[in-house]
Structure 1
Amino acid sequence: MQDFEYQANPARVVFGKGSIRKVPEELLRLGLTKPLILCTPQQTLQAEDLRKILDGEVTVAGVFDNATMHTPVDVTDSALKVVKESGCDSVVSIGGGSTIGLGKALSFRTGLYHLCIPTTYAGSEVTPILGETQEGRKTTYSDPKIFPGTVVYDVDLTMTLPAGLSATSGVNAIAHAVEALYARNGNPVINLLAVEGVRALAEALPQIVQDSNTAGPRARAQYGAWLCGTCLGSVGMSLHHKLCHTLGGSFNLPHAETHTIMLPHVVAYNAPNIPETLALLAQALPESDGDAIRGLNVLLQKLGIKRDLKSFGLKEEDISQAADIAVSNPYWNPREVKRASIEELIRRAWAGEEARADL
């Protein structure tokens, strides 16, 4: 039996259909009566619906509707001004990783309580990690103070999430669990959560793509995303997340799509050094035939999503620079990070090739 340390996630989780209606109760339980609602420009309708639920129970301080991908510092600064002017006593984020990231940034800077309501499967809501972008570079922080205090999962809020975005958001969550399985500070408890999370998402996502209006697979995907996000919040990440933060922060590639495209390639790169992880993944991935890389390739094929970074704006001439940035700061990875191999890995992802373990 391996030696390990395990720190439980401190967040309170409220999971269930229609649970958004419990948000006033959750705030009042904590003595909070003046929340500021956060959302993206695309989710103002959901924010307004939440305001209606809150009105009469508490006093809504306002709605800040400019949450942005990769959490730009200038957007956070604008939101901080609204926080100060509104006199709010808490922040409530409703949306995906962009909105939850802003809620984390505000809470971390001000000490305000953060309640979040995820509408995607990204898993950011249960991590102590904050990635912020400034002047073309994305910097990642990890601190227990970044954890949202309460997470409200309501499957109803995911029902209108487009099938394509559901797929990439879900694979993004799977990536958290995969890297947790070979983390330097991993442990048996997190391994159990990771395998269960991958299995739940790998089963649910193809069903969602086939019929996005069925609540059962949606709820299972939400459950899987919670487990995978918990993995991300409990152990260290490695090459996959480093590459995705480089591509997102420096080249403005979309978060979930980038994670989806890169995942099989990084697993293939690390494959010689992670046999136990590959065995666990193969068990959790349908149609893997005992080969985790094949299982990931088949899953992405079934989801029908784009698999090339060039479709999302990465230029061929950017590949070399991306490799330079990705290896510029040393970090732990189960296999030595070699610049030439990383450049070829990015090139394959840029071209949309299937992952293969020959680097």
Structure 2
Amino acid sequence: MKFTHESLPQRVRFATGEAPAAVSAEIETLGATRVMVIAGEREAELAARVTADVPVALRHDEVVMHVPVEVAERARERAAEADVDALVCVGGGSTTGLAKAVALTTGLPIVAVPTTYAGSEATNVWGLTSGETKTTGIDARVLPRSVVYDATLLTTLPGEMTVASGLNALAHCVDAMWGPRVDPIDQVNAAEGIRGLAGGLPKVARDSASIEGIEETLYGAYLAAVSFTSAGSGMHHKICHVLGGMFNLPHAQTHAVVLPHVLAFNAPNAPEAEARMAAAFGAPSAVEGLAGLRRTLSAPKALADYGMPEDGIAKAVAPILAAIPDNNPTPVTEENLTALLTAAWAGEES
């Protein structure tokens, strides 16, 4: 056994019903006195409650999916004009992504308050979109200094978004099992993340206000992000990043649709990882475990349903092939990648 594992420096607070006090405490720890609060228009009221005891100098609500470069530039300009010394982001992956874009060029510390299961809050990965191209990178400056998880903030998350966001988190676990830097610690975290998500998501699907279900799902989503950021981005995420940037597809739903196809593609050539995932699902195989969970959740099925054109399959093949890591368990060719994308586009069973 030979590997190098790096654990990222971050404080995580699970504080159900205590987000305002927890966020205030984190800002006080940072010594910040002029805080920029980033939250989309739909989260404005929630963000106001969460940051009621924080010294807010600026509230910014221009949040756009996939973080277009021009949107990031405007947020950076406003941060500079207001002379802020810390960032609080309240929302999903797009909101966290915008805070990261500001931190990338300013070095400002982030306190993240997630309202979905995106997982971006636990990674040092940033992403920006220019035209049809989404660029991602790794930088220590974008890792939030602290994360406040409060299950009560997710009780009103719409059911469809809960399912898509939770399956997006599950995709982090699956991709981490064979990521370019994967090690045994990543695989342990990813398997436990799968167990948490597979246990929590059905509870939340039955009752969107189930605190127990939300906490279990958040726990799984956090471990998913930790394992993913350490193992690195694998085949699944390379596919979704290309498709998302090229066709402006919704992030979580794209991941939810593509996931079973990538799992079925790679599992036969990754027997140890497959066995870990099957055990985490409590199923005879990883593919069967995911399929059963997707049936329970009535998961998204087809990329066509979210606006991807059929002729986009051929357009996406070359950039995806160029991005997939060399260590992917199953060798990827133009032919088998086209077949995978076609199946995901049409919503065929994997």
**TM tier relative to shorter chain:** over 0.9
Q: Are 1:71 and 2:67 matched, yes or no?
A: yes
Q: Are 1:49 and 2:43 matched, yes or no?
A: no
Please give the per-residue CA displacement for 1:97-145, whole angstroms capped at 9, x wherever unaligned. 0000011111111011111101111111010111110011001101222
Aligned partners of 1:271, 1:338: CA distance in 2, in Å? 17
Q: 1:291 matched to which residue of 2? A: 285
Aligned partners of 2:210, 2:133: CA distance in 1, in Å? 39
Please give the per-residue CA displacement for 1:298-333, whole angstroms capped at 9, x wherever unaligned. 211110122111110011111111122211346322
Q: Which of 330, 333, 336 does residue 335 from structure 1 map onto? A: 330
Q: Are 1:103 and 2:99 matched, yes or no?
A: yes
Contiguous gaps of at least 5 residues in structure 1: none
Please give the per-residue CA displacement for 1:155-212, whole angstroms capped at 9, x wherever unaligned. 1111111121111111111111111112242222222111111011011111111111
Q: Which of 161, 176, 181 does residue 180 from structure 1 map onto? A: 176
SS in 2 for 1:328: helix
Shift of residue 87, structure 1, vs aligned partner: 1.2
Q: 1:19 matched to which residue of 2? A: 18
SS in 2 for 1:186: coil
Aligned partners of 2:62, 2:324: CA distance in 1, in Å? 34
Alignment of 1:129-140 (within 5 A): 129-140=125-136
Q: Are 1:318 and 2:312 matched, yes or no?
A: yes
Counterpart residue identity of residue 124, structure 1: S
SS in 2 for 1:232: helix
Q: Provide the alpha-carbon RMSD of the alignment.
A: 1.3
Counterpart residue identity of residue 6, structure 2: Q
Counterpart residue identity of residue 10, structure 2: A
Q: Are 1:344 and 2:343 matched, yes or no?
A: no
Q: 1:3 matched to which residue of 2? A: 2
Q: Is contact 1:196–1:224 with CA below 8 Å preserved after alignment?
A: yes
Alignment of 1:252-271 (within 5 A): 252-271=248-267
Bigger drift between 334-343 and 200-209 goes to 334-343
Q: How many residues align?
A: 348
Counterpart residue identity of residue 277, structure 1: A
Bigger drift between 73-82 and 185-194 goes to 185-194
Counterpart residue identity of residue 117, structure 2: Y
Aligned partners of 1:101, 1:27: CA distance in 2, in Å? 20
Counterpart residue identity of residue 338, structure 2: E
Q: Is contact 2:187–2:273 with CA below 8 Å preserved after alignment?
A: no
Counterpart residue identity of residue 39, structure 2: C
Bigger drift between 211-220 and 325-334 goes to 325-334
Q: Is contact 2:69–2:129 with CA below 8 Å preserved after alignment?
A: yes
SS in 1 for 2:230: coil
Counterpart residue identity of residue 295, structure 1: G
SS in 1 for 2:88: strand
SS in 2 for 1:253: coil
Counterpart residue identity of residue 299, structure 2: I
Aligned partners of 1:223, 1:306: CA distance in 2, in Å? 23
Alignment of 1:188-267 (within 5 A): 188-267=184-263
Distance 1:310 1:330, change over 3 A: closer
Distance 1:280 1:132, change over 3 A: same
Aligned partners of 1:184, 1:141: CA distance in 2, in Å? 14
Shift of residue 63, structure 1, vs aligned partner: 0.8
Aligned partners of 1:196, 1:335: CA distance in 2, in Å? 24
Please give the per-residue CA displacement for 1:248-306, whole angstroms capped at 9, x wherever unaligned. 011111111111111110011112321111111111114x3x12112111211110122
Aligned partners of 2:141, 2:346: CA distance in 1, in Å? 40
State the 4+ residue runs in structure 1 displaced beyond 3 angstroms. Answer: none
Contiguous gaps of at least 5 residues in structure 2: none
Q: 1:34 matched to which residue of 2? A: 34
Please give the per-residue CA displacement for 1:54-89, whole angstroms capped at 9, x wherever unaligned. 2xxx2x111110111111111001101110111111
TM-score of the superposed pair, with normalisation by structure 2: 0.96
Q: Is contact 1:19–1:153 with CA below 8 Å preserved after alignment?
A: no
Please give the per-residue CA displacement for 1:321-352, whole angstroms capped at 9, x wherever unaligned. 11222113463222222111111101101111
Q: 1:353 matched to which residue of 2? A: 348
